[in-house]
Chains A and B, each alone.
Chain A
Amino acid sequence: MIKTIVNDKQLLFGILGIIALLIIVAFAPNIAPENPYVFGPDVLNKIGENGHILGTNKMGQDIFSMIIYGTRTSLQVAVISALISGLLGILIGGIAGFFGGTADRIVSEIINIFMMLPTFFLILLIIALFGNSIYNVMIVIGLTTWPSNAKLMRAQALSLRERTFVKAATAMGETKGQILFKYIIPNGIFPVIANTTVGMSNAILTEAGLSFLGLGDPNIISWGQMIYDGKSFLTSAWWIATFAGVAIVITVTIFYLLGDGLNHVMNPKHSKGKGV
């Protein structure tokens, strides 16, 4: 187990990165030098001025502390939306692939159609109409991104249901529901997990994009929101937008590394590939 992780550089860095992110999330109040929700007297301080490592914004909030607290928002969005999309994908794809027939044909057609819809715009539209709380953002991202998970799960279920151990379970008289939840889903879930990690990166990018268009939740600190605020100060206070973006790039890269690493380890087809 440990040897596999160390051997796969992407997985190793991905896991180390996730651990670092989780530490930041858990100990945010201890790591951040200031409370970013408090508007301080130091307005638009430069880097290092008055002890602000990465400067301050127009409200006198400390940029470094904001980035630390923003990690919580991003990870929350990533995890919750990925859970929703993963669960939906597993259930819908699993049922379609396992039961086959008409149900499968209808579901795969729906998956194909949903994969052709521009997701970002749909999310944008729903958030604009229904209000921009962070919970809406998470739920809507989850509800609109399940088709790729469903597609993977369906393919897994299709091949698993022909396997001997599933046939044996049927012969033993287990019900379809039992087989689906006891054999098909647990055995076919790994590619979905790897895909969900990539979905987490996309969720972070989507949330940032929404915030940048002014559809972020104004009551919380998020990296996208910081870039949105920093846009007006691009020439006078470049640090506001720059470092929040760097935080996004690092976090998203970590999730991509983890996803690719998991893919290599769990998919024997990839085991010889070096990863592109």
Chain B
Amino acid sequence: MKRYVAKRILTGLLTILIVFSINFIIINLAPGDPIKTLMGKETDDPALRAALEQKYGLDKPLHIQFVSYLKTAISGDLGTSIIYNRPVSEMISEKMPATILLVLTSGILSLIIGTLMGIVAARKEGSFIDVIFSGFSYILNSMPSFWLGLMLIIIFSSVLNLLPTCGMTDPRTSYKGIAYVMDVLKHMILPVGTLILIEIPLYYRIAKSSVLQVTNEDFILTLRATGMNEKKIFNKYIFRNAILPTVTIFGISLAYLITGVALIETVFAWPGTGRLVLTAINQRDYPTLMGIYLVMSVSVAIVMMLVDILYAVLDPRIRY
């Protein structure tokens, strides 16, 4: 167990190192010369260039640049936004809570709904419900999330006029306390709903197939032969065994959500990191974009690492 956890943490750290390297390579390969930008297009003074290169450490060999890049990035300095002239890390941490709110809410709700649907479909395999659920999940799986969001806006906001289309709060009011929470909840329904619908197929597939698989195992047949109550077999044996893969899927889904939420935040003008991505793209604010990529990749790597360790704790059979 300890060895597995140590190995998993090592892989996680390696992943994070690779993320930093990819970022570094992309910065170096990207078109454009930072010194030229700093000097201005018309100036071409070799002395000034040398001075600037020395000031920013660009005259040193690449591997030394990489080490100093790693040092600053790990200390939390992700550079400065060239548009807002503010530290990127500050801008990201400011927008993070709104994104985490969306990701966790929809992640947990889709886990519950998708898994329940999968279990129901597996228990009544071939029934009408199974066919409906499977078809539903098939179609949802092929939907672009942002388009689904737009369609929900058309239905629930334009036609039915029920829910707000964008933002996190109503800008015309300044609620406090409970009213504020209710306002945020109301604004959350559509974005969270979209994310849940997009995530359902993941859980549905895995829950259904693992329940089916466990049901067909020999020990279940034995339990049935002993005359054990069907409900007890399900609750005590099938469910416990079949629920395990869902844990892994939860990690994958959170990882997907962390990055995929950018599209949904764009659709609903949700004030999270995804919006930051969009503005950074439109304004060519590369430091911000790279900073967000770093933060997201590192969080994904950490989430995946934790999930794998959790899985190993839950299922003693998993050892590499």
A117 touches B300 (CB 8 A): yes
Which residues from chain B contact A112 at a C-beta distance below 8 Å? 11
Asked if B158 lies at the interface with its beta carbon under 8 angstroms from chain A, I say: yes
CB within 8 Å for A118 and B277 given contacts A227-B150, A235-B158, A253-B138: no
A120 touches B281 (CB 8 A): no
In the bound complex, CA of A209 to CA of B263 (Å): 7
Shortest C-beta distance, B254 to chain A (Å), equals 11
A209 touches B146 (CB 8 A): yes
B15 touches A116 (CB 8 A): yes
CB within 8 Å for A213 and B277 given contacts A227-B146, A256-B138: yes
Which residues from chain A contact B29 at a C-beta distance below 8 Å? 130
Which residues from chain A contact B266 at a C-beta distance below 8 Å? 212-213
Asked if A68 lies at the interface with its beta carbon under 8 angstroms from chain B, I say: no
Which residues from chain A contact B158 at a C-beta distance below 8 Å? 234-235, 238
Q: Which of B11, B204, B205 contacts A113 (CB 8 A)?
A: B11
CB within 8 Å of A: which B1-44 residues: 11, 14-15, 18-19, 22, 26, 29-31
- Chain B: how many interface residues by the 8 Å CB criterion? 57
Asked if A81 lies at the interface with its beta carbon under 8 angstroms from chain B, I say: no
CB within 8 Å for A129 and B30 given contacts A113-B11, A209-B144, A213-B277: yes
Which residues from chain B contact A238 at a C-beta distance below 8 Å? 154, 158
B142 touches A242 (CB 8 A): no
A245 touches B286 (CB 8 A): no
CB within 8 Å for A205 and B144 given contacts A213-B281, A234-B154, A253-B139: yes
- Chain A: how many interface residues by the 8 Å CB criterion? 42
Which residues from chain A contact B15 at a C-beta distance below 8 Å? 113, 116-117
CB within 8 Å for A129 and B31 given contacts A213-B277, A253-B139: yes
Look across to chain B and name the residue whose beta carbon is closest to the beta carbon of A256.
B142
Shortest C-beta distance, A18 to chain B (Å), equals 14
In the bound complex, CA of A104 to CA of B94 (Å): 43
Which residues from chain A contact B258 at a C-beta distance below 8 Å? 118
Q: Which of A117, A120, A130 contacts B31 (CB 8 A)?
A: A130
CB within 8 Å of B: which A26-61 residues: none
Count contacts between A and B, CB distance < 8 Å: 133
Asked if B141 lies at the interface with its beta carbon under 8 angstroms from chain A, I say: yes
In the bound complex, CA of A142 to CA of B196 (Å): 28
In the bound complex, CA of A124 to CA of B258 (Å): 14
In the bound complex, CA of A54 to CA of B266 (Å): 26
CB within 8 Å for A242 and B154 given contacts A128-B286, A249-B139: yes
Of A112, A128, A208, most B-chain CB atoms within 10 Å: A128
Which residues from chain A contact B22 at a C-beta distance below 8 Å? 117, 122
CB within 8 Å of A: which B95-138 residues: 125-126, 134, 137-138
B301 touches A227 (CB 8 A): no
Look across to chain A and name the residue whose beta carbon is closest to the beta carbon of B304.
A116
In the bound complex, CA of A253 to CA of B134 (Å): 13
Asked if A125 lies at the interface with its beta carbon under 8 angstroms from chain B, I say: yes
Shortest C-beta distance, B74 to chain A (Å), equals 18
In the bound complex, CA of A64 to CA of B104 (Å): 39
Asked if B309 lies at the interface with its beta carbon under 8 angstroms from chain A, I say: no
Which residues from chain A contact B304 at a C-beta distance below 8 Å? 116
Look across to chain A and name the residue whose beta carbon is closest to the beta carbon of B280.
A128
A118 touches B300 (CB 8 A): yes
Shortest C-beta distance, A70 to chain B (Å), equals 13
Asked if B50 lies at the interface with its beta carbon under 8 angstroms from chain A, I say: no
Asked if B209 lies at the interface with its beta carbon under 8 angstroms from chain A, I say: yes
Interface of chain B, helix or strand or loop or mixed? helix
In the bound complex, CA of A197 to CA of B15 (Å): 28
Shortest C-beta distance, A143 to chain B (Å), equals 12
In the bound complex, CA of A231 to CA of B290 (Å): 27
Asked if B219 lies at the interface with its beta carbon under 8 angstroms from chain A, I say: no
Asked if B276 lies at the interface with its beta carbon under 8 angstroms from chain A, I say: no
In the bound complex, CA of A245 to CA of B263 (Å): 15
Asked if A248 lies at the interface with its beta carbon under 8 angstroms from chain B, I say: yes
Asked if A241 lies at the interface with its beta carbon under 8 angstroms from chain B, I say: yes
Look across to chain A and name the residue whose beta carbon is closest to the beta carbon of B165.
A234
B134 touches A242 (CB 8 A): no
Contact bitstring B286-306, A, C-beta under 8 A = 1, else 0:
100110110011001100100
A121 touches B296 (CB 8 A): yes
Shortest C-beta distance, B219 to chain A (Å), equals 20
Asked if B242 lies at the interface with its beta carbon under 8 angstroms from chain A, I say: no
Look across to chain A and name the residue whose beta carbon is closest to the beta carbon of B274.
A213
In the bound complex, CA of A120 to CA of B147 (Å): 17
Which residues from chain A contact B151 at a C-beta distance below 8 Å? 242, 245
Which residues from chain B contact A118 at a C-beta distance below 8 Å? 255-256, 258-259, 296-297, 300
B147 touches A276 (CB 8 A): no
A121 touches B205 (CB 8 A): no
CB within 8 Å of A: which B237-293 residues: 255-256, 258-260, 262-263, 266-267, 277-278, 281-282, 284, 286, 289-290, 292-293
Which residues from chain B contact A131 at a C-beta distance below 8 Å? 31
Known interface pairs A113-B11, A253-B139; 5 further A-B residue pairs with C-beta atoms within 8 A, sorted by A's residue number? A118-B300, A121-B292, A131-B31, A213-B281, A276-B134
3 smallest beta-carbon distances between A and B, as pairs: A245-B147, A252-B142, A118-B259
**Can you sample 10 A-B contacts with CB below 8 Å?**
A120-B259, A124-B277, A129-B26, A212-B146, A212-B263, A215-B281, A227-B150, A231-B267, A245-B144, A256-B138
Interface residues of A (CB under 8 A from B): 109, 112-113, 116-118, 120-122, 124-126, 128-131, 201, 205, 208-209, 212-215, 224, 227, 230-231, 234-235, 238, 241-242, 244-245, 248-249, 252-253, 256, 274, 276
